[in-house]
């Protein structure tokens, strides 16, 4: 009996050990850095000085930080809603498709997913280029003359929109394929009985699919929230957070501070506050996990 | 009629999904002269392999290729094994601290890896692990592990416990029951998660950029992918050719897993 | 077992106190054959020239194994930072002249002030020597420079009946307007070619940022700077350069190679790139210095280029210096300037540029070369692209005065954010 109760701890031991050295320890170090005067000089020479909560005070007192937080919220909400809705639609579509078409679509999704971020981002940059881009060419050919030579990256909202399209395009494949895999584990009898009971397509979705996949949906929503909120290279390559900071989300802000200005101390503070904000945003999910 | 609508919609999704990828490959096959042409052409008028030649002949290509494969495969397999153990403990056993553990794992996904670059660098420096693939593998393992656990846990939880119990009643031990009954059902989950881990580790650039300094032979493919650029701009033909080659392993992995696992078959197994 | 864990924890705890590498005592000199690692940026030197240098150097210095590593541009800032912070850094690193200040200020770069005389530093190019000099100490050793000239398509010039390059800005606008006909572009100037803007601003008597009583101040909102921007806007309108992109994306040499663009602003080294794309343009490319306000002197240009630094964390300080000396010496400088169309690091060596149209145009402009503000945080202003975004805003119809005030505030904030 005693032996049996030791098993779970043995099973999680590798996870705990890995996490302690490669995650917890760096996190503690980051926390320490955020309480120090730690810039490029301290990184190179060492000898950082402890300054308490000065970095946090500097951040929280400025209006800029809160603007960035708000922008990150909007950015995350728009992207996650689009991703979840589209990928659910695609997953349901996949289940209903015949084998050939299904395989084609799944391969296309895998292809989009596997495309390196830098290549995908560059391609999007070209597609939306003002003079030589395909999107403007297409829109102008379709009669929208105002898009001839339209400068997408000169306008904050337009740049934001292009980035949303890019991130949704990159994120949908994972969510759709995972949901599809989940859908295939739902026993067919459940659908059959629901249909015998006279359920329409929507009703079947709400009564059978959603409850069966509740956990998977919760998982995907929270993962996408985390990933979208932390999304960085796409934004940096396309706009460096501009124009006029219109696309400066928290990770971009942290990068500007830490790796461009070399204020690792303040950057760590931003990163840790981001974690706290994410945790707050996902608290419902965390609670549910403790209960289950 | 319904089937037609469905197929048309699927086709639309397919086109939108594939177009940027198609554009990437198209650029890779176009002579440099045609890449910046004023009217876009959707088909290479005079396809060329020169960009692929440039990409493959770039210094270090084969070394980086080997390093990437090594680091990625080790990190992903390690993460899968470690995660499977943890996910099993979480979904199939009751123990004190389980809730806390799950929350910690979930929270670990929020780890601000970009901001951990400096701490990880300092740790590697102080433990003399700079310029070593081991440290890199460790980091990639850790980046993918929480996700792998969380997803595997989701998939495991979705598999009814009764299936296992039925097998145990039939005289199988718990381990055998797991392997024979649960493992096949878990296959799609393993597929999705390992593919995710593979793509994440395969694409990672920031850590290899600062953890591998002097020993250039220890660098990985993302370094190669970013190397077709100089002061005058990027050689986009070569970069796109490189990106195509770079995406290939993940794609092959997907197709392989897809065939091996056969998602449809699994669904059938549950039904039967 | 428990003890060992405690010991391990203690090791980590020590590390966590931020104990960096011990740099106060200087790295020990190792004896015997030394492997020297030298970082050179991609595109600075051809493989063949590097090979020649390596063979010659190793022949002359017994027991030295040179490892010349070509560095890709992406992520180079972080990589150099990491190298300086490591315990076993590369021995010599090539660093862009606008980037040195931040590294020197961090304390990770060896002070080479004592070597200036040995390197004949009396006639170094100011645009390279000044950025390498922080608070009177020479950290960066000038390596090579390149400044931008106008590269033009001789056929299109002839077709428009223009047989002489312009001498003044007004002439320049006139001929460019003439060239901008039919399917041809008078000039392909992208909206974010900010080094060109810097030149125009300097010509008007303006600046990017100035130091006032210890603090830096962005000054793109002065009337002089606005006049520079206005000229840029008029010039930019005489072609189809995208207003929201820079010259590297898409690479302007690929656009120029199409044969429909009369002029681009670029370093002369770009000619080789154009020929790679379109060999048919051989002998069809001409070069002239960027015109100034008056005919008596060409326009002010930004001096781009590189310096060499030795990290404090290099374990072979003396041998590293010998390599720097050879790379910055007359023989290699002459070879480099000829092969790559660069300006050598000393004005007395500029003679090697004569005779070649491209490099002569560059040398004429180089006399009026200037560098970006010499402060550690200037690199951050470049990295965040604020000047580029300002240019795009003005070119797409924004109010110049308002936009200029915004960007100046942003520059002021960045430059004063401490380090």
- Note the pLDDT of residue B59: 81
Q: Is residue B4 part of a domain?
A: no
- Give the residue extent of every domain in chain A: 57-102+156-291
Q: The tokens of B5 are what?
A: 């609508």
Q: Of the ranges A96-100, B256-260, C132-136, which one carries the lowest mean pLDDT score?
A: B256-260
Kindly state the average pLDDT of the residues A92-117: 88
Q: The tokens of C228 are what?
A: 């520079």
**pLDDT over 90 (residue B180):** no
Task: Mark yes or no for CB contact C251/B234 under 8 Å.
Answer: yes
Task: Mark yes or no for CB contact A178/B103 under 8 Å.
Answer: no
Residues of A in CB contact (< 8 Å) with C are: 25, 28-29, 32, 36, 38-48, 125-126, 129-132, 149, 151-155, 240-244, 256, 259-263
User: C147-302+374-415: what CATH class?
Assistant: alpha beta
Torsion of CA C91, C95, C100, C105, to 10 degrees: -30
Q: The tokens of C257 are what?
A: 């190679």
Domain containing B65 equals 60-232+246-271
Task: Please list the pLDDT of chain C residue by residue as tens digits (419 residues).
Answer: 334 443 434 333 333 333 333 333 344 444 557 899 999 998 889 889 999 999 999 999 988 999 999 998 888 999 999 999 999 999 999 999 989 999 999 999 999 999 999 999 999 988 899 899 988 999 999 999 999 999 999 999 999 999 899 999 999 999 999 999 988 999 999 999 999 999 999 999 999 999 988 899 999 999 999 999 999 999 999 999 999 888 887 889 999 999 999 999 999 989 988 998 899 999 999 999 999 999 988 999 998 899 999 999 999 999 999 999 999 999 999 999 988 889 999 988 888 887 788 888 888 888 788 889 988 889 889 988 899 999 999 999 999 999 999 999 999 999 998 65
Task: Mark yes or no for CB contact A184/B188 under 8 Å.
Answer: yes
Q: Of the ranges A34-48, A220-234, B146-160, which one carries the lowest mean pLDDT score?
A: B146-160
Q: Chain A interface, mutation test: which of B17, B80, B149, B258, most A Cβ atoms within 10 Å?
A: B17
With an 8 Å Cβ cutoff, is C247 touching chain A? Answer: no
With an 8 Å Cβ cutoff, is C252 touching chain A? Answer: no
Confidence of residue A292 (pLDDT cuts 50, 70, 90): low
> ipTM exceeding 0.90?
no
Contacting A residues, span 214-243, partner chain B, CB-CB under 8 Å: 215-216, 219, 222-223, 226, 230, 232
Task: Mark yes or no for CB contact A285/B106 under 8 Å.
Answer: yes
Of B32, B210, B230, Cβ closest to residue C254: B32
A29, B88, C309, C341, C361 from B104: Cα distances, Å: 18, 16, 45, 58, 64
Task: Mark yes or no for CB contact C79/B213 under 8 Å.
Answer: yes
Q: The tokens of A64 are what?
A: 């800029």
With an 8 Å Cβ cutoff, is C93 touching chain A? Answer: no
- Note the pLDDT of residue C21: 39
With an 8 Å Cβ cutoff, is A23 touching chain B? Answer: yes
Task: Mark yes or no for CB contact A45/C84 under 8 Å.
Answer: no
- Note the pLDDT of residue C160: 93
Task: Mark yes or no for CB contact C107/A259 under 8 Å.
Answer: no
Task: Mark yes or no for CB contact C277/B33 under 8 Å.
Answer: yes
CA nearest to B267 within chain A? A184
Mean pLDDT of all residues belonging to chain B: 85
Task: Mark yes or no for CB contact C18/A48 under 8 Å.
Answer: yes
Task: Mark yes or no for CB contact B209/C250 under 8 Å.
Answer: no
- Note the pLDDT of residue B39: 74
Residue from A257, B219, B127, B63 nearest C79 by CA: B219
What is the nearest CA distance from B49 to chain A, expressed in angstroms?
Answer: 18
- Note the pLDDT of residue C187: 96
Q: Chain C interface, mutation test: which of A44, A48, A50, A137, most C Cβ atoms within 10 Å?
A: A44
Task: Mark yes or no for CB contact A240/C12 under 8 Å.
Answer: no
- Note the pLDDT of residue B92: 85
Per CB-CB distance under 8 Å, the chain B contacts of A216 are: 154, 158
- Note the pLDDT of residue B60: 83
Cβ-based neighbours of C307, under 8 Å, separated by 6 or more = C94, C95, C97, C100, C128, C131, C132, C140, C141, C142, C143
* Count: domains in chain B: 1
Stronger pLDDT, A100 or A167, i.e. the higher one:
A167
Cβ-based neighbours of C221, under 8 Å, separated by 6 or more = C401, C404, C405, C407, C408
Q: The tokens of A10 are what?
A: 């043995």
DSSP string, C248-306: BTTBHHHHHTTS-B-EEEE-TTHHHHHHHH-GGGTT-EEEEPPPBSSTTSPPPEEEEEE
Confidence of residue A161 (pLDDT cuts 50, 70, 90): very high
With an 8 Å Cβ cutoff, is B102 touching chain A? Answer: yes
Confidence of residue A287 (pLDDT cuts 50, 70, 90): confident
CATH number at residue B189: 1.10.3720.10
Stronger pLDDT, A192 or B207, i.e. the higher one:
B207
Q: Is residue B175 part of a domain?
A: yes
Task: Convert the pLDDT of each residue in B18-63 to its tens digit.
Answer: 999 999 999 899 988 888 777 777 888 889 999 999 999 888 889 9
Per CB-CB distance under 8 Å, the chain A contacts of B16 are: 169
Q: Is residue B36 part of a domain?
A: no
Q: Is residue B158 part of a domain?
A: yes
For A229-235, which contacts have Cβ atoms below 8 Å and span 24 or more sequence positions?
A229/A72, A229/A75, A229/A76, A229/A274, A229/A278, A229/A281, A230/A274, A230/B110, A230/B112, A230/B114, A231/A79, A231/A167, A232/B114, A233/A117, A233/A118, A233/A121, A234/A117, A234/A120, A234/A121, A234/A163, A234/A166, A234/A167, A234/A170, A235/A163
What percentage of chain B exceeds 90 in pLDDT? 38
Task: Convert the pLDDT of each residue in A65-78 to its tens digit.
Answer: 999 999 999 999 99
Per CB-CB distance under 8 Å, the chain A contacts of B159 are: 185
With an 8 Å Cβ cutoff, is A97 touching chain B? Answer: yes
Are domains C33-146+303-370 and C147-302+374-415 of this chain identical in fold? yes
Task: Convert the pLDDT of each residue in C68-100 to its tens digit.
Answer: 999 988 889 999 999 999 999 999 999 999 899
- Note the pLDDT of residue B261: 56
What is the nearest CA distance from B107 to chain C, expressed in angstroms?
Answer: 23
Contacting A residues, span 43-62, partner chain B, CB-CB under 8 Å: 43
Kindly state the average pLDDT of the residues B146-168: 82
With an 8 Å Cβ cutoff, is B263 touching chain A? Answer: yes
- Note the pLDDT of residue C26: 41
Kindly state the average pLDDT of the residues A239-251: 89
- Note the pLDDT of residue C67: 93
- Note the pLDDT of residue C28: 44
What is the nearest CA distance from C307 to chain B, expressed in angstroms?
Answer: 15
**Cβ atoms of C172 and C235 closer than 8 Å:** yes
Chains with ≥3 CB–CB distances under 8 Å to C? A, B
- Note the pLDDT of residue B64: 93
Of B35, B130, B232, Cβ closest to residue C270: B232
Q: Is B70 left (phi over 0), alpha (psi -120 to 50) or beta?
A: alpha
What is the nearest CA distance from C320 to chain B, expressed in angstroms?
Answer: 15
With an 8 Å Cβ cutoff, is B129 touching chain A? Answer: no
What would be the CATH architecture of the domain defined by A57-102+156-291?
Answer: Orthogonal Bundle (1.10)
- Note the pLDDT of residue A219: 80
Which CATH number does C33-146+303-370 carry?
Answer: 3.40.190.10
Mean pLDDT of all residues belonging to chain A: 88
């Amino acid at each position: 009996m005693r032996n049996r109760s030791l098993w779970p701890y043995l099973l999680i031991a590798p996870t705990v050990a890995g996490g302690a050295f490669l995650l917890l320890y760096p996190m503690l170090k980051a926390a320490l850095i955020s309480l120090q005067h730690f810039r490029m000089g301290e990184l190179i020479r060492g000898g950082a000085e402890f300054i308490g909560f000065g970095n946090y005070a500097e951040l929280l007192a400025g209006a800029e930080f809160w603007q960035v937080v708000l922008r990150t919220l909007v950015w995350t909400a728009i992207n996650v809603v689009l991703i979840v809705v589209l990928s659910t639609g695609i997953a349901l579509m996949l289940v209903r498709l015949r084998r050939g078409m299904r395989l084609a679509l799944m391969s296309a999704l895998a292809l989009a997913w596997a495309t390196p971020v830098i290549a995908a981002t560059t391609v999007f940059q070209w597609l939306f280029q003002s003079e030589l881009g395909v999107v403007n060419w297409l829109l102008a050919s379709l009669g929208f003359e105002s898009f001839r030579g339209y400068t997408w990256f000169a306008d904050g909202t337009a740049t934001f929109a292009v980035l949303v399209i890019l991130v949704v395009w990159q994120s949908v494949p994972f969510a759709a394929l995972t949901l599809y895999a989940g859908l295939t584990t739902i026993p067919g009898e459940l659908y059959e009985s629901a249909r015998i009971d006279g359920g329409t397509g929507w009703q079947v979705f709400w009564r059978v699919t959603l409850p069966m996949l509740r956990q998977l949906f919760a998982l995907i929503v929270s993962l996408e929230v985390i990933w979208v909120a932390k999304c960085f290279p796409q934004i940096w390559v396309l706009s460096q957070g501009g124009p006029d900071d219109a696309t400066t989300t928290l990770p971009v802000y942290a990068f500007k501070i830490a790796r461009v200005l070399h204020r690792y101390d303040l950057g760590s503070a931003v990163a840790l506050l981001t974690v706290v904000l994410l945790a707050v945003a996902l608290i419902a999910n965390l609670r549910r996990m403790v209960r289950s | 009629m319904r089937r037609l609508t469905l197929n048309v919609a699927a086709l639309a999704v397919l086109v939108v999904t594939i177009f940027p990828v198609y554009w990437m490959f198209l650029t890779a096959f176009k002579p440099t002269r045609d890449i910046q042409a004023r009217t876009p052409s959707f088909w290479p008028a005079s396809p060329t392999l020169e960009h692929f030649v440039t990409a493959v002949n770039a210094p270090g290509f084969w070394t980086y290729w080997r390093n990437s494969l090594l680091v990625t495969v080790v990190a992903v397999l390690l993460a899968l094994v470690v995660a499977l153990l943890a996910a099993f403990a979480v979904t199939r056993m009751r123990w004190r601290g389980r809730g806390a553990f799950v929350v910690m794992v979930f929270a670990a996904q929020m780890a601000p890896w970009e901001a951990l670059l400096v701490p990880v660098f300092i740790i590697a420096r102080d433990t003399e692990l700079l310029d070593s693939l081991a440290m890199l593998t460790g980091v990639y393992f850790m980046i993918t592990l929480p996700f792998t656990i969380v997803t595997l846990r989701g998939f495991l939880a979705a598999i009814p416990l009764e299936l296992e119990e039925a097998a145990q009643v039939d005289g199988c031990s718990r381990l055998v029951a797991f392997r024979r009954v649960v493992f096949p059902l878990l296959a799609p989950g393993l597929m999705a998660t390992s593919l995710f881990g593979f793509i994440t580790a395969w694409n990672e650039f920031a850590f290899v950029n600062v953890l591998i300094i002097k020993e250039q032979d220890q660098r990985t493919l993302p370094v190669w992918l970013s190397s077709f650029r100089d002061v005058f701009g990027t050689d986009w033909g070569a970069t796109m050719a490189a990106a195509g080659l770079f995406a290939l392993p993940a794609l092959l992995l997907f197709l392989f897993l897809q065939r091996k696992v056969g998602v449809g078959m699994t669904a059938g197994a549950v039904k039967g | 077992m428990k003890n060992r864990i405690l010991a391990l924890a203690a090791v980590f705890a020590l590390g966590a106190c931020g104990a960096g590498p011990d740099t106060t005592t200087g790295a020990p000199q190792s004896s015997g054959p030394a492997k020297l690692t030298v970082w050179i940026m991609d595109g600075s030197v051809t493989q063949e020239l590097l090979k020649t240098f390596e063979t010659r150097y190793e022949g002359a210095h017994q027991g030295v194994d040179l490892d010349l590593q070509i560095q890709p541009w992406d992520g180079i800032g972080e990589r150099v930072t990491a190298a300086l912070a490591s315990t076993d850094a590369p021995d010599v690193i090539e660093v862009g002249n606008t980037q040195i200040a931040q590294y020197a200020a961090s304390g990770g770069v060896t002070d080479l002030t004592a070597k200036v005389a040995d390197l004949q530093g009396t006639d170094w190019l100011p645009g390279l020597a000044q950025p390498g000099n922080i608070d009177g100490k020479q950290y960066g050793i000038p390596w090579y420079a390149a400044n931008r000239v106008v590269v033009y398509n001789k056929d299109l010039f002839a077709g428009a009946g223009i047989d002489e390059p312009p001498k003044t800005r007004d002439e320049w606008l006139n001929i460019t307007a003439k060239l901008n006909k039919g399917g041809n572009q008078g000039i392909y100037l992208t909206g974010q070619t900010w080094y060109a803007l810097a030149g125009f601003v300097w010509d008007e008597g303006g600046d990017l940022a100035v130091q006032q009583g210890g603090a830096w101040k962005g000054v793109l909102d002065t009337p002089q700077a606005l006049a520079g921007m206005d000229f840029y806007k008029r010039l930019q309108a005489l072609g189809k350069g995208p207003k929201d992109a820079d010259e590297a994306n898409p690479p302007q040499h690929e656009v120029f190679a199409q044969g429909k663009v009369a002029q681009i602003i670029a370093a002369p080294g770009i000619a080789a790139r154009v020929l790679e794309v379109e060999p048919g343009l051989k002998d069809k490319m001409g070069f002239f210095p960027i015109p100034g306000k008056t005919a008596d002197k060409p326009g002010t240009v930004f001096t781009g280029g590189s310096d060499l630094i030795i990290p404090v964390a290099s374990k072979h300080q003396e041998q590293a210096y010998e390599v720097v000396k050879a790379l910055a010496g007359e023989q290699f400088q002459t070879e480099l300037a000829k092969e790559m169309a660069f300006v050598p690091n000393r004005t007395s060596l500029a003679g090697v540029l004569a005779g070649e149209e491209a490099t002569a145009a560059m040398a004429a402009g180089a006399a009026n070369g200037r560098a970006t503000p010499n402060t550690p945080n200037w690199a951050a202003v470049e990295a965040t692209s604020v000047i580029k975004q300002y240019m795009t805003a003005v070119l797409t119809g924004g109010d110049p005065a308002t936009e200029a005030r915004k960007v100046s505030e942003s520059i002021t904030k960045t430059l004063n954010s401490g380090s």
